[in-house]
Amino acid sequence: MCRYPILIVGALVLATSTVSAETDFTSANALVPGCRAHVNNQPSDLFMEGVCAGIIDALFFMDKDSCPPRGVTNDQLARVVVQYIDSQPARLHEPFRVLALEAMRKAWPCQR
């Protein structure tokens, strides 16, 4: 009987992961495919979907310059971000977080 089943499973996951050490986690080009899969409910790379959802959730939590309606879900946020980035394919090389913030601020500007 194995005393460390979690370590073995973790090692197997790491060994079979499609994400390389050289993956650029900052550009929209790298993150949008995972976001798109998440939004369309078509799982492909669950790790990248999670990275996308996590970044969007963190940006939403920290952003004080957008005012989405109360109860907005992470799925709705991701949909707005993907639609915004997809409408500007020439900017895919830019940092994902910059474009995601722009998307949220454009979709839900604060009335000050």
**pLDDT tens, position by position, 44-86:** 788 888 899 999 999 999 999 999 999 999 999 999 999 999 9
Q: Does residue 40 have a pLDDT over 80?
A: yes
Question: According to the model, what pLDDT value does residue 22 have?
Answer: 60
- Rounded CA gap, 65 and 30, in Å? 25
- Rounded CA gap, 95 and 105, in Å? 16
Question: According to the model, what pLDDT value does residue 24 have?
Answer: 65
What global pTM score does this model have?
0.75
Between 94 and 4, name the one with better pLDDT. Answer: 94
pLDDT in tens, 7-33: 444 444 444 444 555 656 789 999 999
Is residue 49 within 8 Å of 35, Cβ to Cβ? yes
The class level of CATH for 24-107 reads mainly alpha
Structural tokens at position 42? 């078509």
Q: Where are the domains of the chain?
A: 24-107
Helix, strand, coil percentages, rounded to 5, for the chain: 60, 5, 35
Question: According to the model, what pLDDT value does residue 96 have?
Answer: 96
- Rounded CA gap, 25 and 8, in Å? 26
